[in-house]
Amino acid sequence: MAEPLVETRGLTVDYAARRSLWGPANASTRVLRGVDIRIDAGEIVGIVGESGSGKSTLGRALLGLVPATEGQVLFAGHPLDAQPDGALALRRHMQMIFQDPMSSLNPRHTIRTILTRPILLHGIALDQAAAAASAAAVLERVGLPLTVLARYPHELSGGQRQRIGIARAVMLRPRFVLADEIVSGQDVSTQARVLVLLKELCAEIGMALAFISHDLSVIRALCHRVYVLNGGVVVEEGSCESVFAAPQHAYTRALIDAIPLPVVGTSWLAA
């Protein structure tokens, strides 16, 4: 079996105790408990679970944004904490698309700066002209007009900002992208457009995608495999086809029974 692009081995994450003004600090909270997952190059993997299941903490740990208490996160076979600068050394290859793009886009910068500065800093574009050309190509790919380059994030709609978030993530042509609840609260047609775009970009760039969501119908339509988390533990994993057709764990069955799943046609997310 080929080496996974992203892998966790016995990943445990505790959140440190917070000191209280009215007494001693509370005990630390264990959020992940010995999690083992793997994501292969070019693969789309879903991470699902109820609120508080640990899925967002797992996503952030995969990017090195949350330190492991025990266990390891590996990227291309190398532990993140063994890198000279930690996960920062791999930032070009590991990107994140946030749920709320308004809070993750610098309100003081134009979209032109937001898109071009990373590729200039990493030396992907050698000058402003090359960076502008790359930004224009990415905007066309995500279905936005060039006029948005001169605008600020607050001047765009929520759907436009989400596509800017995707554009910014793929500007560096990363090997791995984490998307955390990025279609939550959007209407069905907007969800479909975003998911089709992500699916196409994964195929074009060859990037792997970890897609965190509580919406099982989205996971079933988009992902190749799925991990189900409950209480910080992976209770079930497998191909989406097998897990949704015949869930083995009671928690997975309860999730599927609790959420109405539409019959997803094969053409819904067809490229």
Q: Are strands 225-230 and 208-212 parallel, antiparallel or unpaired?
A: unpaired
The string of DSSP codes covering 94-153 is EEEE-S-HHHHS-TTS-HHHHHHHHHHHTTSSSSHHHHHHHHHHHHHHTT--GGGGGS-G
Domains (range + CATH), the chain: 1-93+176-188+208-271 (3.40.50.300), 97-173 (no CATH)
* Beta strands 208-212 and 44-48, pairing class: parallel
Instruction: Provide CB contacts within 8 A for 95, sequence distance 6+.
Output: 168, 169, 170, 172, 174, 176, 177, 178
Gap between the Cα atoms of 103 and 100, Å rounded: 6
Give which of 166, 171, 167, 179 is closest to 39, Cα–Cα: 179
Whether residue 4 is predicted with pLDDT greater than 90 in this model: the reply is yes
How many C-beta atoms surround the C-beta of residue 77 within 10 A? Answer: 9
User: Residue 271: what pLDDT?
Assistant: 47
pLDDT at site 240:
93
Read off the pLDDT of residues 78-124 as tens digits, 9 standing for 90 and up.
Answer: 898 776 665 566 778 999 998 887 888 999 999 999 999 999 988 88
d(CA 31, CA 221): 28
Question: Does pLDDT of 55 surpass 50?
Answer: yes
pLDDT at residue number 193: 81
pLDDT at 35 over 70: yes
Distance CA 172, CA 96 (A): 12
Q: For residue range 209-267, what is the model confidence (pLDDT) as tens digits?
A: 999 998 888 898 899 999 999 999 999 999 999 999 999 999 999 988 877 655 555 55
**Cβ–Cβ under 8 Å, residues 269 and 196:** yes
What is the reported pLDDT for 101?
A: 76
165-210 tens-digit pLDDT: 999 998 888 999 999 988 876 777 777 888 888 898 898 888 999 9
Q: Residue 89's pLDDT is what? A: 60
pLDDT in tens, 120-159: 988 889 899 999 999 999 999 888 999 999 999 999 988 8
Contact status, residue 159 vs residue 143, Cβ threshold 8 Å: no
Provide the pLDDT for residue 232: 96
Question: Which residues lie across from 176 on neighbouring strands?
Answer: 94, 208
Closest Cα partner for 236 from 13, 53, 40, 52? 53
Check whether 54 has a pLDDT greater than 90: yes
What is the pLDDT, as a whole number, of residue 19? 66
The rounded distance, in Å, linking the Cα atoms of 256 and 240 is 12
* Spatial separation of the C-alpha atoms in residues 106 and 83, rounded to whole Å: 28
Q: What is the largest CA-CA distance in the chain?
A: 59
Give me the pLDDT at residue 267, please. 57
Q: How confident is the model at residue 24 (pLDDT cuts 50, 70, 90)?
A: low
Per-residue model confidence (pLDDT) at position 269 = 59
Flag whether pLDDT at 268 surpasses 90: no
pTM (predicted TM-score): 0.88
Q: Which residue has the higher pLDDT, 84 or 52?
A: 52
Mean pLDDT of the chain: 87
- pLDDT for 102: 81
